[in-house]
A = this chain, B = another copy of it.
Amino acid sequence: MDDSVCPGLLTDRYELTMLAAALRDGTADRRTTFELFARRLPDGRRYGVVAGTGRFLEALPEFRFDDTACESLAEFLDPDTLAYLRNFRFRGDVDGYAEGELYFPGSPVLSVHGNFAECVVLETLALSIFNHDTAVASAAARMVSAAGARPLIEMGSRRTHERAAVAAARAAYIAGFAASSNLEARRRYGVPTEGTSAHAFTLLHSDHESDEPAAFAAQVDALGPGTTLLVDTYDVTTGVANAVAAAGTGLGAVRIDSGDLGVLARQVRAQLDRLGATQTRIVVSGDLDEFAIAGLRAEPVDSYGVGTSLVTGSGAPTASMVYKLVEVDGIPVEKRSARKETHGGRKETLRLCRPTGTITEEIVHPAGHPLQTGEPSRVVTVPLVRDGKAVIDVDLGVARDLVMSGLRSLPWEGLMLSHGDPAIPTTQIPARRRPIDHQE
């Protein structure tokens, strides 16, 4: 385990060399705003789901440079920079989208305000957290939407870095997954967990004439008849018969982890019903993604276990967010690199909707200059940190509710799984080029 990690070193070297140069030439104290946003949604996605806000707020006070960190930096940093880092803590303000909020291209997901020194060093930490968690939550929300009322279980820990797995379970839960297999996510974040057995447990009983009945009997003895028995180690039909024989018709569920899941689910449902196990649920797993989940809508499936595609963002393993300087001493700044333009100035967001609640447009406007549209609207940007301290509580339940209400607010075509444009257009109201009257 890399438990001895120095939080401040979860950083790219160039942030500290920039800091050194800025301390030396006196620009480190300039008041700045950095903005975290995505220039586009992953290929063909219609919306994204912000996740990571809570982890970022928890990480902020931990982001320090202890003796170990400073010692390792002494080789390439000057004494003044090291002295600065030794006393570092973020004392600025952060505004942004609440965790669970939908976002679109150009949405100012995070606005970090403070002097250049304290804002620039947060770049990698903020991006790592938001790019990972948002990628997972955005994929997860599509799966939740595809699954309709059926619950989804996250079981992808094994397919991603062991720490990323915990964050992925958290992000999936925010997006509406019912549970995770990850036990650390349960301890750390209160994510409900599920899971009963793997093929190994059946194979472990291979000294018996037939190992499956012995394994099922042992599992039912330990976990009760309400457990989920994995029926596809050898032959699914025999497996289901063995399962009901072991647990009785009160068997909780059977899991199918291979083969043509739709065909098998129908066969297994019919077999369970014939055996009198009419309340026994069917859990399917094995290379499911949002498209496979949608394809099983008409089949008698009760819940889905999703692994690889969830933790890898279903084709978009990173949300491609960037962290850009947009304002210095009240003056909007922007670069002009090819295809990588930034829009200068500190911003806030208003989301317009119909009287029904269906959203129609995102308006990104200069901060402190709200738009009078006359239409129903909601202010999306909220204060997250003041003077270095979080001013909102991290509550996964609240974030879950926000995702659900966000999905309900989308125009119907926004929920389509096929490639398309963002569900709503975004209008960027440009900043004036002169200092504007901030309401700090």
A403 at the A/B interface (Cβ < 8 Å)?
Answer: no
Contact A186 B337 (CB under 8 A): no
The CA-CA distance from A21 to B318 in the complex, in Å, is: 39
In the assembled complex, how far is the CB of residue A253 from the closest CB belonging to chain B, in whole angstroms?
13
Question: Is A339 interfacial (CB 8 A cutoff)?
Answer: yes
Contact with B along A1-39 (1 / 0, CB 8 A): 111111101111111111011101101001010100000
Question: B-facing mask of A193-207, CB < 8 A → 1, else 0?
Answer: 111111111111111
Using C-beta atoms within 8 Å of the partner chain, give the interface range for chain A: 35 or more
The listed residue (B25, B120, B186, B217) touching A200 by CB distance below 8 A is B120
Contact of A205 with B27 at beta-carbon distance under 8 Å, contacts A3-B62, A72-B186, A162-B128 already known: yes
Report yes or no: A7 in contact with B14, Cβ–Cβ below 8 A. Answer: no
Interface presence of A280 (CB below 8 A): no
Contact of A2 among B127, B188, B235 (CB under 8 A): B188
A274 at the interface (CB under 8 A from B): no
Shortest distance between the CB of A432 and any CB in chain B (Å): 15
Q: How far is the CA of A308 from the CA of B181 in the complex (A)?
A: 28
The one of B10, B14, B259 in contact with A198, judged by C-beta atoms closer than 8 angstroms, is: B14
Task: Give the residues in chain B near A329, CB-CB below 8 Å.
Answer: 207
Instruction: Report which of B68, B159, B218 forms a contact with A22, defined as CB distance below 8 A.
Output: B218
Given A124-B162, A234-B336, 18 additional A-B pairs, CB 8 A? A1-B58, A2-B55, A5-B188, A6-B184, A9-B187, A18-B198, A24-B222, A25-B221, A25-B222, A27-B218, A32-B204, A72-B183, A120-B198, A124-B157, A128-B158, A132-B160, A159-B318, A235-B336
Q: Is A301 an interface residue (CB 8 A)?
A: no
Q: Which residues of B contact A233 (CB under 8 A)?
A: 335-337
The yes or no answer to A258 lying at the interface (CB within 8 A) is yes
Measured CA separation A103–B385 after assembly (Å):
48
The answer, yes or no, to whether A398 is at the interface (CB within 8 Å) is no
Measured CB to CB, the nearest residue on chain B to A219 is: B21
B197 adjacent to A21 (CB under 8 Å): yes
Per-residue CB contact flags for chain A residues 300-323 toward chain B (1 = under 8 Å, else 0) read 000000001001110001101001
Please give, as numbers and ranges, the residues of chain B lying within 8 Å of A62 by CB-CB distance.
Answer: 1, 3
**Chain B residues near A145 (CB-CB < 8 A):** none
B30 near A204 with CB under 8 A, answer yes
- Say whether, besides A6-B184, A187-B9, A325-B203, A195 and B14 are in contact (CB < 8 Å): yes
Any B CB within 8 A of the CB of A434:
no
Name the B residues within 8 Å of A6 (CB-CB). Answer: 184, 187
Question: A128 touches which one: B160, B194, B324, B337 (CB < 8 A)?
Answer: B160
On chain B, the residues within 8 Å of A286 by CB distance are 340
- Chain B residues whose C-beta falls within 8 Å of the C-beta of A324 in the assembled complex: 199-200
